[in-house]
Amino acid sequence: MFERALFLALVLLCCEAQNVGLLSSTLDSTPHVVNDITKPPIFQKVSQVSGDLSLDLKGIILPTLINDSNVLELTDQIISEYNAGLGNEDITLNISELVTKYGYPIKRHQVTTKDGYILSMYRIPNNGSAVFLMHGLLGSSDDFVVAGPETGLAYLLSNEGYDVWMGNSRGNKHSRQHLVLDPSQSAFWDFSWHEIGCYDLPAMIDYVLQVTKTNKLKYVGHSQGTTSFFVMASERPEYNSKISLMVSLAPVAFLGHMKSPIIQLLAPGNPLFHSILQSLGVNEVLPDNSASRILKRVLCGVGLLAEIICSNLIFLFIGFDFGQLNVTNLPVLYGHIPSGASVKQIVHYAQGVASGDFRQFDYGDSKTLDLYESNVPPSYNLKNIVAPVSLFYSEADWFTDPRDVDKLYKRLGNVIDVYKVPYEQFSHLDFLIAKDFKTLIYSRLRKLLNNV
> Do residues 123 and 106 make contact, with C-beta atoms less than 8 angstroms apart?
yes
> Do residues 447 and 389 make contact, with C-beta atoms less than 8 angstroms apart?
no
Helices (H), 164-200: 193-195
Q: Is the peptide bond before 268 cis (omega within 30 degrees of 0)?
A: no
- Catalytic residue (one of 90, 394, 428, 430): 428
- Catalytic residue (one of 163, 397, 401, 430): 397
Rounded distance, CA 374 to CA 268, Å? 21
CA 284 → CA 27, 173, 380, distances in Å? 21, 12, 25
Whether 223 is catalytic is yes
Return the CA Rg of the chain.
Answer: 21
Contact partners, residue 318, CB within 8 Å, separation at least 6? 223, 260, 398, 399, 427, 428, 429
Three-state secondary-structure class, residue 285: strand
Nearest to 196 by CA among 250, 232, 223: 232
- Catalytic residue (one of 141, 192, 223, 342): 223
| The pairing of beta strand 177-178 with beta strand 243-249 | unpaired
Whether 430 is catalytic is no
Cite the active site residues: 223, 397, 428
